Amino acid sequence: MTKRLFAIAFIFICTSIAWCILGSTIYMRTYDRGPALREKVASGWGASQTQTPPRACYQSPGKTEKETVTEWLPLDRSRVKAGLHLEYRQKGLLWYSTYTVAFEGVYSFHNPSEQEQDVTFALDYPASQAIYDDFVFLLDGAPLSVENHKNSAIGKSRLGAGKTVELRVGYRSQGLDRWAYKFGGEVEQVRDFQLRMTTDFHDIDFPDRTLSPTTKRETGKGWDLEWQYKNLVAGYSIGMAMPEKLQPGPLAGNICYFAPISLLFFFFLMFLITVLRGIDLHPMNYFFLACAFFAFHLLLAYLVDHISIHAAFVIASAVSVFLVVSYLRLVVGMRFAAVEAASAQLIYLVLFSYAFFFKGFTGLAVTIGSVLTLFVVMQMTGRIKWTEKFAAPKVSPPPPPCCK
């Protein structure tokens, strides 16, 4: 019995090493090309975007004839809308959280000087790697001629002394991972501000150093969020991090790294059942069972490149269960293979691995499964005389030689 246990332990260790190699291979395939793939997505779709409010200024005479001073027009009022529509893109073993944004802003400026001024209005684009469709740049409802200079849209108009104008800007664009609205510098004063953001996804997340919405309402498709301030002084911005899709590469890698735990439970239960029932299961049988478990992770690792992670999981599970049941049917019998072995494999391979689909609950699920397994095993083996089970088999003395 002791030699058999050492042989099973050796098989378990070798299989665990194979899982570590497979898991490392998955992570290398996932992250070695990760930066290049992200750059490829950003260049083809659009990068992360951070929008700032437009600026308005004019030039006034300085101390000398050639010197001029830039005077900034106060921003009195801001009414901003941003509609975010989430779309995912897959490259390699990673999904990227891409989105489209419909942006619109109405801003009020006034000329504080006592003279008519030639005012320059400028809007910085939120990203250099992006496209801007349906671009709008209106001053008091009239189109303003725009020039593009250093990633900014610039328009000029003459503004009377003390006059207030309304600048309307808007566009449709595409971005990656997060969208943000920054008030300007490190610390800015914002007057009469309102930003309304709508999403078509429910899993919202506000990045670090961003303001939470003052009001929010969940809708059928997502959220209706609003930030409203009368007179705000803050060094924070407004932002939204796009929800991440379940990543097939890291998920398959984690399942591989934790696979030895599921095999340990399975071997432990198979060993106890065979001891209780007097079934002779040789270490070579355990070797082939370990191979059937490894086949699940090997299939999963290379199927996620081509089909969805859920479909890959179902196919890999079905193949592995079929291998175990069809094999133990020949070794022990159909009842043991279809009931005890298949049930144990569904619990400790399929359900154990599926727990990784629930982010944040994997550890709890594994803990609950471990405690329940311990309880069942303790009840099954409470009356076993382990000294007798592990005792060396008695050898019958040879029969006496026959007398002639």
- The answer as to whether 398 is a domain residue is no
- The answer as to whether 38 is a domain residue is no
Contact 95, 89 (CB under 8 A): yes
Q: Which helix (H) or strand (E) holds 126?
A: none
Question: Between residues 44 and 9, which one has the greater pLDDT?
Answer: 9
380 confidence band (pLDDT: 50, 70, 90)? confident
User: Out of 113-117, 167-171, 179-183, 387-391, which region has the weakest mean confidence (pLDDT)?
Assistant: 387-391
The encoded tokens of residue 28 equal 């290398």
Q: What integer is the mean pLDDT of 308-331?
A: 94
Residues 174 and 215 occupy one common structural domain: yes
Residues 189 and 255 occupy one common structural domain: no
Q: What integer is the mean pLDDT of 242-251?
A: 89
Residues 233 and 149 occupy one common structural domain: yes
Q: What integer is the mean pLDDT of 215-243?
A: 93
Last residue of a domain, one of 241, 257, 277: 241
- Per-residue pLDDT, 402: 62
Q: How far is CA 330 from CA 4, 341, 397, in A?
A: 21, 13, 34
User: Out of 258-262, 325-329, 385-389, which region has the weakest mean confidence (pLDDT)?
Assistant: 385-389
| Percent residues over pLDDT 90 in the chain | 61
Q: Round the average pLDDT of the chain to a whole number and report it.
A: 89
Q: What is the pLDDT of residues 144-193, one digit of tens each?
A: 999 988 889 999 999 999 999 999 999 999 999 999 999 987 788 899 99
Q: CB-based contacts of 298: which residues, under 8 Å, 6+ apart?
A: 22
Last residue of a domain, one of 214, 241, 268: 241
Domain span at 375: 2-31+247-389
- The answer as to whether 283 is a domain residue is yes
Residues 318 and 291 occupy one common structural domain: yes
The encoded tokens of residue 5 equal 């246990």
- Per-residue pLDDT, 34: 67
387 confidence band (pLDDT: 50, 70, 90)? confident
Residues 115 and 94 occupy one common structural domain: yes
Residues 228 and 362 occupy one common structural domain: no
Crossing angle of helices 259-277/2-31, nearest 10°?
160
Whole-model pTM: value is 0.76
- Per-residue pLDDT, 36: 77
Last residue of a domain, one of 208, 241, 274: 241
- Per-residue pLDDT, 381: 77
Q: Residue 230: helix, strand or coil by DSSP? A: strand
Residues 237 and 251 occupy one common structural domain: no
Residues 73 and 168 occupy one common structural domain: yes
Model confidence at 323: pLDDT above 90: yes
- Total domains in the fold of the chain: 2
CATH number for 62: 2.60.40.3680
Residues 68 and 208 occupy one common structural domain: yes
DSSP state of 93: T
Residues 285 and 324 occupy one common structural domain: yes
- Per-residue pLDDT, 226: 96
Model confidence at 386: pLDDT above 80: no
- Per-residue pLDDT, 189: 86
- Per-residue pLDDT, 396: 62
- The answer as to whether 280 is a domain residue is yes
Q: What integer is the mean pLDDT of 66-86?
A: 92
- The answer as to whether 394 is a domain residue is no
Model confidence at 367: pLDDT above 90: no
